[in-house]
Chain A
Amino acid sequence: MTDIELPGWLALIASFFLICGGLFTLIGACGMLRMRNFFERMHPSTMGMTLGAGCVLISSILVTSVLLERPAIHELAITLFVVVSAPVTAITLMRAAITRGRPHKGEKPG
């Protein structure tokens, strides 16, 4: 178990962002499992990716900034990367889905 000692306000804020990030990811995964066709499944999964990763990264930035006693910028690299890469993947997959045509059996068309 962790031995790091954090000040109270920081522990509160970091806990809030961690719980939010975990819940967003779980909700996104449940939505991706339950929605009926591909274009509906696109929406909760991208939401879970960007919001969940964003919340966890904010919490990580706060905790490492206090532990290192200087602003920790290098987590911003992952943030920037996720923010840039998620729409690119989404656009490519959606164009692929449109090009590949008709939905499978038992799914209603988008």
Chain B
Amino acid sequence: MNTLFQFSVMFAGACCIAAMSLALIRLFRGPSAQDRVLAFDFFNVSGMMVLLILGIRSGSAVYFDMALLLALFGFVGATALGKFLLRGEVIEP
């Protein structure tokens, strides 16, 4: 069973990295600005999943903090960009 587990860890990591590269293609190609923000958010979440999978693979808890920080800053960045696209400024007076 442990060979199956190692294979699935490798498979999930490869899938997430492929998803990151596809999101990067959409980030560079996307016709409108909101497409790029969406691709940026997806890229962040996929990177967070890669970190979690690395944490599962190595069995250490260090990767968890990095994943939490990446999710946090990705959310803040995507929401700020979306707010900017919506209103033209991020923090309204």
| Nearest CB of B to A74, in Å | 7
B6-24 with Cβ < 8 A to chain A: 6-9, 11-16, 18-20, 22-23
* A92: contacting residue among B9, B18, B35, B82, CB under 8 A: B82
Asked if B23 contacts A19 (CB within 8 A), the reply is no
Q: Which residues does chain B contribute within 8 Å of A29, judged by CB atoms?
A: 18-20, 22-23, 42, 46
B22-46 with Cβ < 8 A to chain A: 22-23, 25-26, 31-35, 37-39, 41-42, 45-46
Asked if A19 contacts B59 (CB within 8 A), the reply is no
Secondary structure at the B interface, as helix, strand, loop or mixed, is helix
Q: Which residues does chain A contribute within 8 Å of B34, judged by CB atoms?
A: 38, 93, 96-97, 100
Interface residues of B, count at CB 8 A: 55
On whether A93 and B4 interact (CB within 8 A), knowing A29-B18, A32-B22, A56-B52, the answer reads no
Q: Which residues does chain B contribute within 8 Å of A60, judged by CB atoms?
A: 52, 55-56
Q: Which residues does chain B contribute within 8 Å of A26, judged by CB atoms?
A: 15-16, 18-19, 22
